[in-house]
Structure formats: C-alpha cells, structure tokens
Structure 1
Amino acid sequence: MTTHNRINRRRFMTTTAGSALMISALGTSRAFAADPIKTAGIYTVPVEQQWVSRIHKAALTAQERGDIDYTFSENVSNTDYARVLREYAEAGNTLIIGEVFGAEQEAREVAAEYPNVAFLMGSSFKEDAALPNFAVFDNYIQDASYLSGLIAGSMTTSGNIGMVGGFPIPEVNRLMHAFMAGALEVNPDISFQVSFIGSWFDPPKAKETAFAMIENGADVLYAERFGVSDAAKEQGILAIGNVIDTQSDYPDTVVASAIWHFEPTLDKAIAEVQAGTFTAADYGVYSFMKEGGTSLAPLGTFEGKVPAEVMALVAKRTEEIKSGAFTVTINDEEPKSS
C-alpha cells in the first residue's frame, strides 16, 4: 500500500478544530463552515489509472479551492481495504471517497461503525437507506461513449471493431454497449470482438489481447484499458479512448475519447457534507452529460478527418442528450462478440 500525507491521529485529536470536526454529526451543521473538509481517498490501483485519476483530479481541484483537506492511499488491496477505511475514519476524516467493487460488504460494515463519517464509494450496487452515511457512484458516461461510437463507426473500413475491457461489470458493460450502439447506428454491418482481461491495470495483457484482435481483422480498437492504444499505434490502426483523453500521447492513433468528469459528483457530496445533509444516495446521475459529468474530447489531430455528416450527427445528438430529447440506453449486461 502506498500512502500519501498520512495523518497522525494523536496530533489530530489534540487540535480544537479537529475535535470540532470529530463531534460534528452528519445531521448537524459543521462547526466551522469555512474550514476545509478533512477528506481521504482510498484506491486499489495507482492514481495514474484512468478511472481513479479522474477522482484524484477532482479531489485535487477541490483542495486547491480550499473546500477539502485531501490525503490518499493508492494500491490498497481488496483484502486490506476495510482496515485502511477504519484507519482514515479514526483519523478524523469527515468524507472518505474510493472504490469498493471488490470489497462491497466489508466497506459497508465499516461505514456502519462510523455514522458521523460520509462515505462516497464507487460501487456496482445501490445505496441502502439503512446505511444513511454510505452513498454510491459510478461513471455513467454512456452519453459520450455513444458519441464516440458514432465516430468509430464512420472510421472503420473493415467493419470489424475490437473492444478490450477490464472486467464485465456494469460500469464497463454500459459503456461498451453505448459505444456499440453508436457504431451500429452509423454502420449496421459492423461486427465486434469483445474481450475482458480480468484486471484493472495490466497494460501488457491488454496490449496482447488487442494484437490478437488486430490479427483477426479489427482496424479500430475501443481502449477501455491502458495498453490497447499502444497496440493500435504499433500496428497503424485507430483507437477510441475511454475516461481520459490520451490523444497527446497517441496523436495519430486516438481519434476520440469519452471523458469522465468527477467534479460534479464530488462537488455535490462536498456541498451535502457542508450543509450537514449528506445521506445515502446514488450519485451516478452526476456523471451524465446533462450534469456536466461527461464529454467527448476534442478531435485534435483528427479534426476534419471524420466525415462531416457524422460530426453533424454528433453535434445534433449532443444537444439532444443535454436537452433530454435523446436518451442513450443503459445496458449493464455483459457484451458479447458478434
């Protein structure tokens, strides 16, 4: 486990402001509204990993604003997750953020032990009213994923698209399905190769899987994991990014990316903690495009290279998604190769 800016509990408990935060219940106003919220992030992967990097970025932004005092641990194993949760709760953190996909039950048990701490956790499950201080979120960026699919469908010449994911869990499945729906809207004859590598961070394995898809005819790759765009770059084909914009690293490879903006999710939680109204809720809605939680990255080096009629459709659908006139279907079932 790698830990940054760790807190000394004894030193914290001897400070007046720290004691005020510890006795402040979620149902009451914070003693000092202007004080930064003591916040901890707990991540099972490096903060450079796509998904976690967006949470980390939003937390750093909130800290720069003065809203939170942020510390974090990365590379925490699922088996160690509950212990680290308790450690940060005992250290007086008022808000704890993280991702509990591999430690759901254990994390909820810890939250029950600390009712005055707000837990905002990435989860495949929903909130439980019986656990009012445990809220969930997920990256519902299917809107931008669908838009990136429209572009991918127009850029493939073989009609064969390869898709490499980490695990077939809802947060991944819904993005793949949205991407596929967009591609099929532009070209109904497209076929897909779908594979999961069983890891959130294994670039060599993702790259190897992508190579196999290229050998099997794919000329566009959906890079849900790191490593896929490397394979595309080496073989001279195109890739579509996910969660972060990597085009600066792959200027001749990555055409478009569906970007996740965690700021609306975290800012909502911060406001609720500040107001003393934080409660069990599904924060996934704040990842929707209409909430500012997702966007399509600029085409950059591919500006003018995507068919104009497709970009017109992308612009039209973007406005319709924001207005509510068009809804991207959320399908959490495991996608299959066609």
Structure 2
Amino acid sequence: MAAFVAAVLGASVHLPSLAQEKIKVAGVYTVPFEQQWVGRIHAALQAAQARGEIDYEATENVANADYERVLREYASAGHQLIFGEAFAIETAARRVARDFPQTAFIMGSSGGPQAPNFSVFDNYIHEPAYLTGMIAAGMSQSGKIGLVGGFPIPEVNRLMNAFMDGARAINPQVQFTVTFINSWFDPPKAKEAAFAMVDAGVDVLYAERFGVSDAAKERGVLAIGNVVNTQDQYPDTVVASAIWHFEPTVAAALEKIRTGSYTAENYGPYSMMQHKGASLAPLGTFEDKVPAEIKEKVAARQAEILAGTFEVEINDAQPKP
C-alpha cells in the first residue's frame, strides 16, 4: 500500500513537547455522537481521556454554516488538537487551520494534507467490507443484494465497491441494487429505501446507514453492518460487520503532539487492517449459520490481506447497480 504511506508535508508544527502534560483536544461534528462514523471517533477520544492522556471537549450536530465558528472557538480557547469532519466544509476548515498554524487539525476529508498543520484521515475499512461481501453472497438465497448509502462520495463508494467485489468472489452472478439517501443521518429515509429493495426481491442488505437493519429485521431478511457492530441489537438480522477502530489514529497523533513532531499528513492508513484500524466483527449469533465453506474462504482471504498477498481494490467511483 505504498501509495497510502503517510507523507510528511512541510515543516513540523512547533508545539512544545507535552510528554508530562494532558493534551487539550476538541471534537467538532456535524452529526450526533450516536451516528456510527462520528461515534467511533468520539469513543476513541473518550477512551484516551479515561486513560488520563487528554482533556477532551466535543460539540455534536454542528450545522455546516456554524462549523467554522465552532472550530475557531476551540482553537482560540487553546485546544492543541482538533478532530472533526470537513467533507462538506473543506474550504472553511482549511481556512481556520491557516489562521491557527500552531493548532493541530486532523479532519475527515476527501482532500490531501495542508502544511503545516492540517492532517486528514478516513475510515479505510474496505478490507473487512470485502470480507462481509463474501459472507453476504454466501448467505443470500435469491442472489440479490441491496446497498443503502449516505452520499456517493469516495469514502462511501470505496466501501460499497469493496463489498460488491467480495460478494462477486463468491457468486459472480450476484445482482445489486444501490441507493443513496443523500443524508448522513436519516434512519427513517434509509429504512424506506431498504423496504423498497426487499419488495424487489433483495434478501441481504448492506447497512451503510442506520435504519437499514431495522427494515431488514421487520421484513425478515439479513443485514450486513458497517463501522460498528450492531448484532447485539439485531441478533437474528445482522450477520457480520466491518468495524472501524479509530484508536490507532488517535494514538499516532497524540504521540506526535507529545514529541513535538506533528506535521500535516495522511492518517488514512491507520484505519487499515495491518494497523488494527479495521476488523471483521465476530460472527456471534451467526457462527453456526454461515456455511463452513464460506467461513473457510473468508478466513483464507483475511489471512492473505493481513500477509499483504491480496490487496482489496480501492475504487472511489460511484457504485453501479
């Protein structure tokens, strides 16, 4: 994955060494903490706070129009490290970073790093998404699988494409239905989109958004989870999930802040399986329901991914039905 090695851009941000001090960290999120993507970031930072490594404050449900103001407030208040997502407000977020060059920003972004202090990250969990696609195809009786996503942006597209590639590895004839609800958090809308797919014959749903697993449960079909494992809430519905672990990203960033070596770079690779930034959730209640042959194929492919002998394609193009 040489193309994804974090590249240092420009000089370090000249923050003092903070080895013996708590780092003051802020989180600025456009959706609620319960949303799965932000929830993983928030949980990782809460864990760092519980360990005594950071002082952490966060604001959820920040409107795009208010995002710049909230970023500036945290930076002005002396927060040394700020996490958030800049997908819809790239220009504003990068402008704030330029105005506070001694503050470290690490933002979910479709763009690259901006020297000296604006780093980017993403949930590169396409590898376990591929594995869940294999499981989905192995569990589908109709050969019809539906995918419900938020927006057709690279961060979503690559997961869906990887999932579809994994499904094709098991059943080359599998048919896909793809819908985007154009929202990051609208469970009722996602649920309705899923209902339409089930009515069309789909018997496995890829739940990129919350609400899809509810539809699957109500209609008696199966679901595949994304980012978080919700099988405990849907024990007879959610077969498998691709899990994002933000802890490696947080650990890497905090170490660089502590040592005064922070630079603008791409933290995306820390979300990959080789860094333990992603994983396939245990099958749990479906351990004895997934065919043994499928489990063997998934285990073999996972071993190849971890060994670097198989590379899941990163395809950011909008997936096609």
TM-score (normalizing by structure 2): 0.95
CA distance in 2, matches of 1:312, 1:324: 18
Alignment of 1:181-192 (within 5 A): 181-192=165-176
Residue 13 of structure 2 corresponds to residue 26 of structure 1: yes
SS in 1 for 2:16: coil
SS in 2 for 1:257: strand
CA deviation vs aligned residue, 1:42-65 (integer Å, no higher than 9, x gap): 000000000000000100111111
CA distance in 2, matches of 1:224, 1:173: 10
Q: Decide which of 297, 302, 313 is 1:313's aligned counterpart.
A: 297
Shift of 1:67: 1.3
Shift of 1:266: 1.1
CA distance in 2, matches of 1:258, 1:335: 18
Match of 1:301 in 2: 285
CA deviation vs aligned residue, 1:257-310 (integer Å, no higher than 9, x gap): 000000001111111111111111110000110110000111111011111111
Contact 2:133–2:166 under 8 Å retained in 1: yes
Contact 2:15–2:102 under 8 Å retained in 1: no
CA distance in 2, matches of 1:41, 1:28: 19
Match of 2:8 in 1: none
Match of 2:110 in 1: 124
Shift of 1:27: 2.2
Shift of 1:322: 1.1
Shift of 1:28: 4.6
User: Structure 2: which 5+ residue stretches go unaligned?
Assistant: 1-11
CA distance in 2, matches of 1:116, 1:323: 39
Contact 2:244–2:278 under 8 Å retained in 1: yes
Residue 240 of structure 2 corresponds to residue 240 of structure 1: no
Which structure would you say has the larger Rg?
1
Match of 1:7 in 2: none
Distance 1:58 1:294, change over 3 A: same
Q: Decide which of 186, 199, 215 is 1:231's aligned counterpart.
A: 215
SS in 1 for 2:25: strand
SS in 1 for 2:57: strand
CA distance in 2, matches of 1:34, 1:325: 41
Shift of 1:316: 1.1
Residue 240 of structure 2 corresponds to residue 253 of structure 1: no
CA distance in 2, matches of 1:29, 1:93: 13
Distance 1:28 1:88, change over 3 A: closer
Over the residues paired in the alignment, what is the CA RMSD in angstroms?
Answer: 0.9
Instruction: Report the residue type matching 1:312 in the other structure.
Output: E
SS in 1 for 2:205: strand
TM-score (normalizing by structure 1): 0.90
Alignment of 1:1-338 (within 5 A): 26-30=13-17, 32-128=18-114, 131-337=115-321
Shift of 1:315: 1.1
CA distance in 2, matches of 1:152, 1:290: 23
Distance 1:157 1:118, change over 3 A: same
CA distance in 1, matches of 2:150, 2:303: 31
CA distance in 1, matches of 2:19, 2:221: 53
Contact 2:122–2:271 under 8 Å retained in 1: yes
Contact 2:13–2:116 under 8 Å retained in 1: no
Shift of 1:194: 0.2
CA distance in 1, matches of 2:24, 2:233: 35
Per mean C-alpha deviation after superposition, the further-off stretch among 313-322 and 167-176 is: 313-322
Instruction: Report the residue type matching 2:29 in the other structure.
Output: Y
Shift of 1:126: 1.2
Shift of 1:196: 0.2
CA distance in 2, matches of 1:237, 1:44: 32
Instruction: Report the residue type matching 1:120 in the other structure.
Output: I
Number of residues paired by the alignment? 310
Instruction: Report the residue type matching 1:202 in the other structure.
Output: D
The runs of 4+ residues in structure 1 deviating greater than 6 Å are none
CA distance in 2, matches of 1:91, 1:47: 22
SS in 1 for 2:106: strand
Match of 1:9 in 2: none
Per mean C-alpha deviation after superposition, the further-off stretch among 303-312 and 213-222 is: 303-312
SS in 1 for 2:78: coil
SS in 2 for 1:119: strand
Instruction: For CA contacts below 8 A with separation 6 or more, give which structure has more relative contact order.
Output: 2
